[in-house]
């Protein structure tokens, strides 16, 4: 079976290249000291935080309101269930 690039059964010539290079243990991380790795880590954090789409003030207000309303409803629901089960237990066990 072949596709536009070549055969699926036969790997490309690049994949068959002999391993003439020695691989180091530890890779790139072995070269850098702990402070350089820490600095790289923080640079990557800042780069990722720049990609975040932060909500606008109106969106944040509406999301916060929705969460607070949901939590209040759930508190009320759990309170009612707890009250009903405690009264049922009192009725059954005296």
Mind listing the pLDDT tens digit of every residue in the chain (94 residues)?
A: 555 555 555 555 555 555 555 555 555 555 778 899 999 999 999 999 999 999 999 999 999 999 999 999 999 999 999 999 999 999 999 8
| pTM for this entry | 0.50
The rounded distance, in Å, linking the Cα atoms of 87 and 93 is: 10
Question: What pLDDT does 32 receive?
Answer: 78
Spatial CA neighbour of 73 closest among 84, 65, 61 = 65
């Amino acid at each position: 079976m072949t596709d536009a690039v070549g055969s699926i059964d036969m790997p490309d010539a690049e994949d068959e290249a002999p391993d003439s290079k020695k691989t180091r243990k530890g890779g790139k991380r072995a070269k850098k000291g702990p402070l350089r790795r820490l600095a790289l880590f923080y640079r990557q954090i800042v780069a990722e935080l720049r990609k975040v789409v932060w909500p606008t003030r109106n969106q944040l207000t509406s999301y916060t309101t929705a969460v607070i309303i949901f939590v209040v409803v759930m508190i009320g629901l759990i309170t009612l269930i707890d009250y009903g089960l405690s009264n049922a237990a009192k009725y059954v066990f005296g």
